[in-house]
């Protein structure tokens, strides 16, 4: 039996779906890209005063054409990330503007060098199935920021990439970069390496950019991930059930646009639903209710058999303290139990504003615990205990028997040095280091051991050529971070 | 009698009850209480109380938002009376307010507008998804004293910097002050982008605006 956590019973799930379909038909969705509105209207939606009313039958037909499963591939072309079913994978959070400086512990603006370091650390940690375009490179002009981040990740990583375009002109160039990386359009379509986040604006609004982006991605067969982010009580109903209804309505409308542009193109029911903190006005990513929203939303998607995504493991703490460990650890476990295909957010602090390589190292341990949990309890041996008791003799000396040596690695996750399980004496002997100190050391070791992937000269030249032209146009003379 | 009515007005704001606030405005008009007295001695103390309670963590955003709604109901009920007697509220300064381009979140920005208005500023709310240039153009047109720029998302807060640059391009600096706010925004971010100030909540924005517009020699408002 594999562990699984469902928060919605059949009746509540049914009511959520029923209200979500009612919402997109009766209340409707504002869709700002004219092409998206045209697609919807041609398929039977009704437009009134700029609001598109989507009939349930059209939405359901669109949901039907979404592929139930697809993979992201690493540089070698291996399908290492599976979207679909109950597979659970993790990637670092995206688009932070600050980094926790490991020396000063200040939150400072991020630069290309910070992104490179985060990519190197995530590359070395097997807990991260994919990379993300984790931070904004502040020394790079904003108009090419999105594609520059993707360029750096392609340059320093072999893993699949969770990314996104956040301005209209960058998406086509980002696709060019991926084509250069894969070798051809056909190769990219056959073995996609990256997935693009597309964000509806809560409540029930698709900006011109987001709705057009959905169409462009679908037609290019580049996987899209819908990041619906209702905020309970602020930009969504205060109740968790009501928020899940809105999340479903936003995902369903986005999927409808996406599938009308290209039926069968890969798309993920995802998001960053969160509660809204009524004291601070922030969106607490470490709140248990935020994790509950992610789980419930994934459960709604799974009722259709759709691939899922969630935003968890980010903490509201400002440094690598007990709060950061507690919030991120609980969320990693919950997300895993929800069977969410891709869980973004590791490494993040300050409610998604700040990234930290040291936290990536710490979160990797929470993820490893969650991954171990998902393996459940297996029988492994023919007799569960009797045979081992027989071998261990009267003294019960289990350390000596071969089964112990054979199975302990499978049975136990062996944490990295960031987790201290030694004796008090050995802890004191080694300097009495706290978590942050150990994480700093771990990051240093990982960065030192990191080797840049072997990228063919032709791919490198093509990537560099695309980027050099873009950078020049933006008024820069070099490629920072390279 | 009058004190009791003022007390009820304060309570209507604390309860976030727009209907009750309107009702009390009618009572005040019937009793011949000057409308500006009703605002300043009745309703504003209620909003101040809610603001203080919020700052102390005893009341929450929904309390503040509903108090703001009740306050708006009260001022719009009394507005015709104020005009009838030819009175004007003294203005502490003109403030252009908006949520930056790419961002459609307005809860925080609207709260700031409500608190600033209640405390005597003239607020021009540009709404949400406001282009960078528009802040500068509107401030120039109105001869505004302060521009307030809100952003809720880490992806849009960088737009606050673009607003600072736009205002500079229009030659409005340093006369026009720029204040920034929003969930991801911090004092250090405000410093980095060359803004004049940051307020952590709606109440703080009032003190911030007062301090920025105080004449030399006046004491800091806290």
Q: What is the pLDDT of residues A453-482, one digit of tens each?
A: 999 999 999 999 999 999 999 999 999 999
* Contact between residue A125 and residue A446 where contact means Cβ atoms under 8 Å apart: yes
Residue B79 in contact with partner chain A when CB distance is under 8 A: no
Q: Could you tell me the pLDDT band of residue B219, with boundaries at 50, 70 and 90?
A: low
Residue A153 in contact with partner chain B when CB distance is under 8 A: no
The CATH topology of domain A64-375 is TIM Barrel (3.20.20)
Residue B157 in contact with partner chain A when CB distance is under 8 A: yes
* Helix (H/G/I), strand (E/B), else coil: A226: strand
Other beta carbons less than 10 A from residue B71's beta carbon: 25
Q: Looking at residue B222, what is its pLDDT?
A: 46
Percent of chain B at pLDDT > 90 equals 60
Chain B residues lying within 8 Å of A279, measured CB to CB: 57, 60-61
* Choice between B201 and A157, residue whose per-residue pLDDT is larger: A157
Residue B158 in contact with partner chain A when CB distance is under 8 A: yes
Does B91 have pLDDT greater than 50? yes
Nearest neighbour of A201 by CB, restricted to B57, B104, B184: B104
Q: Under an 8 A CB cutoff, do B104 and A136 touch?
A: no
* Mean pLDDT over each residue of chain A, to the nearest integer: 96
Does A62 have pLDDT greater than 90? yes
* Contact between residue A7 and residue A295 where contact means Cβ atoms under 8 Å apart: yes
Residue B191 in contact with partner chain A when CB distance is under 8 A: no
Q: Under an 8 A CB cutoff, do A166 and B192 touch?
A: no
Please state, in angstroms and as integers, the Cα–Cα distance from residue A126 to each residue in A130, A263, A371, B99, B122, following that order.
9, 34, 11, 41, 57
Each residue's pLDDT tens digit, B120-138: 899 999 999 999 999 999 9
Each residue's pLDDT tens digit, A81-117: 999 999 999 999 998 989 999 899 999 999 999 999 9
Nearest neighbour of A109 by CB, restricted to B155, B192, B201: B192
A-contacting residues in B 39-78 (Cβ below 8 Å): 57, 60-62
The candidate with the shortest Cα–Cα distance to A361, out of A120, A165, A188, A130, is: A120
Each residue's pLDDT tens digit, A227-256: 999 999 988 999 999 999 999 999 999 999
Class of domain B94-213: alpha beta
Does B220 have pLDDT greater than 80? no
Q: Under an 8 A CB cutoff, do A279 and B60 touch?
A: yes
Distance CA A431, CA A60 (A): 61
* Choice between A49 and A194, residue whose per-residue pLDDT is larger: A194
Q: Could you tell me the pLDDT band of residue B217, with boundaries at 50, 70 and 90?
A: low
Q: Under an 8 A CB cutoff, do B186 and A107 touch?
A: yes
B-contacting residues in A 165-224 (Cβ below 8 Å): 166, 201, 205, 207
Helix boundaries (H) for A129-190: 145-156, 170-182, 185-190
* Choice between A440 and B116, residue whose per-residue pLDDT is larger: A440
Residue A462 in contact with partner chain B when CB distance is under 8 A: no
How far away is chain B from the Cα of A150, in angstroms, using its nearest Cα? 16
Q: Look-up: residue for tokens 């994978």?
A: A89
Read off the pLDDT of each residue in A181-187 and give the average, rounded to a whole number: 96
Residue A278 in contact with partner chain B when CB distance is under 8 A: yes
Residue A95 in contact with partner chain B when CB distance is under 8 A: yes
Asked if the ipTM is above 0.85, the reply is no
**Nearest residue of A to residue B107 by CA position?**
A234
* Mean pLDDT over each residue of chain B, to the nearest integer: 89
Chain A residues lying within 8 Å of B57, measured CB to CB: 279
Read off the pLDDT of each residue in B100-107 and give the average, rounded to a whole number: 82
Distance CA A348, CA A285 (A): 9
Q: Under an 8 A CB cutoff, do B183 and A351 touch?
A: yes
Q: Could you tell me the pLDDT band of residue A279, with boundaries at 50, 70 and 90?
A: confident
Domain ranges, ordered by start, for chain B: 2-84, 94-213
Read off the pLDDT of each residue in A374-378 and give the average, rounded to a whole number: 94
- The tokens for B82 are 């104020």
Please state, in angstroms and as integers, the Cα–Cα distance from residue B100 to each residue in A108, B208, B209, following that order.
22, 20, 19
Chain A residues lying within 8 Å of B155, measured CB to CB: 95, 166
Distance CA A383, CA A374 (A): 23
* CATH code of domain B2-84: 1.10.1240.10
């Amino acid at each position: 039996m594999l562990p699984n956590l469902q928060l919605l019973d059949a009746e509540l799930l049914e009511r959520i779906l029923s209200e979500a379909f009612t919402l997109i038909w009766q209340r409707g969705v504002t869709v700002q890209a004219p092409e998206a509105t045209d697609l919807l209207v041609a398929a039977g939606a009704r437009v009134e005063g700029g609001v598109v009313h989507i009939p349930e039958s059209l939405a359901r037909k669109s949901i039907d054409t979404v592929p139930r499963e697809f993979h992201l591939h690493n540089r070698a072309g291996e399908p290492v990330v599976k979207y679909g079913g109950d597979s659970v994978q993790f990637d670092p959070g995206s688009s932070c503007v600050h980094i926790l400086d490991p020396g000063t512990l200040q939150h400072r603006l991020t630069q290309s060098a910070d992104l490179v370091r985060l990519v190197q650390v995530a590359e070395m940690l097997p807990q991260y199935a994919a990379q993300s375009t984790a931070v904004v490179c502040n020394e790079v002009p904003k108009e090419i920021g999105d594609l520059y981040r993707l360029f750096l990740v392609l340059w320093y990583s072999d893993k699949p990439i969770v990314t996104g375009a956040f301005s209209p002109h960058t998406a086509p160039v980002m696709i060019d970069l991926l084509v250069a990386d894969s070798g051809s359009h056909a190769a990219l379509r056959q073995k996609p390496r990256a997935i693009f986040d597309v964000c509806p604006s809560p409540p029930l609004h698709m900006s011109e950019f987001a709705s057009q982006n959905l169409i462009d991605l679908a037609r290019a067969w580049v996987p899209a991930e819908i990041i619906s982010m209702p905020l309970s009580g602020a930009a969504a109903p205060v109740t968790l059930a009501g928020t899940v209804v809105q999340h479903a309505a936003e995902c369903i409308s986005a999927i409808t646009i996406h599938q009308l542009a290209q039926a069968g193109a890969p798309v993920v029911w995802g998001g960053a639903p969160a509660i809204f903190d009524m004291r601070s006005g922030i969106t607490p990513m470490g709140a248990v209710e935020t994790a509950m929203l992610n789980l419930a939303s994934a459960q709604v998607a799974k009722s259709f058999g759709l691939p899922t995504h969630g935003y968890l493991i980010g903490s509201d703490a400002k440094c690598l303290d007990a709060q950061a460990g507690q919030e991120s650890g609980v969320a990693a476990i919950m997300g895993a139990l929800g069977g969410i295909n891709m869980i973004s957010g590791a490494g993040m602090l300050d409610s998604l504003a700040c990234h930290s390589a040291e936290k990536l190292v710490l979160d990797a341990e929470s993820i490893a615990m969650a991954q171990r949990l998902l393996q459940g309890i297996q029988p492994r041996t023919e007799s569960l205990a009797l045979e081992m008791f027989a071998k261990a003799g009267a003294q019960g000396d289990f350390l000596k028997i071969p089964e112990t040596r054979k199975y302990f690695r499978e049975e136990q996750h062996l944490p990295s040095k960031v987790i201290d399980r030694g004796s008090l004496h050995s802890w004191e002997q080694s300097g009495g280091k706290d978590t942050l100190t150990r994480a700093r050391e771990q990051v240093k070791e990982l960065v030192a051991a990191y080797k840049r992937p072997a990228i063919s000269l032709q791919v490198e030249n093509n990537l560099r050529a695309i980027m050099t032209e873009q950078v020049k146009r933006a008024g820069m003379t070099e490629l920072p971070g390279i | 009698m009058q004190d009791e009515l003022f007390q009820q007005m304060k309570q209507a704001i604390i309860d976030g009850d727009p209907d009750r606030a309107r009702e009390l405005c009618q009572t005040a008009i019937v009793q011949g209480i000057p409308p500006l007295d009703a605002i300043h001695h009745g309703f504003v103390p209620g909003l101040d109380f809610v603001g203080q309670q919020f700052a102390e963590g005893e009341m929450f955003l929904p309390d503040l938002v509903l108090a703001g709604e009740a306050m708006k109901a009260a001022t719009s009920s009394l507005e015709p009376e104020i005009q009838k007697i030819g009175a004007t509220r003294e203005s502490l300064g003109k403030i252009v307010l908006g949520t930056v381009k790419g961002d459609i979140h307005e809860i925080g920005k609207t709260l700031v507008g409500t608190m600033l208005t209640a405390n005597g500023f003239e607020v021009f709310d540009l709404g949400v998804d406001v282009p960078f240039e528009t802040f500068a153009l509107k401030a120039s047109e109105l001869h505004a004293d302060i521009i307030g720029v809100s952003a809720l998302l880490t992806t849009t807060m960088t737009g606050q910097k673009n607003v600072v640059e736009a205002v500079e391009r229009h030659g409005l600096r340093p006369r026009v002050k720029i204040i920034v706010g929003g969930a991801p925004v911090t004092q250090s971010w405000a410093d980095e982008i060359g803004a004049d100030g940051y307020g952590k909540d709606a109440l703080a924005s009032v003190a911030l605006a007062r301090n920025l517009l105080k004449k030399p020699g006046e004491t800091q408002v806290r």
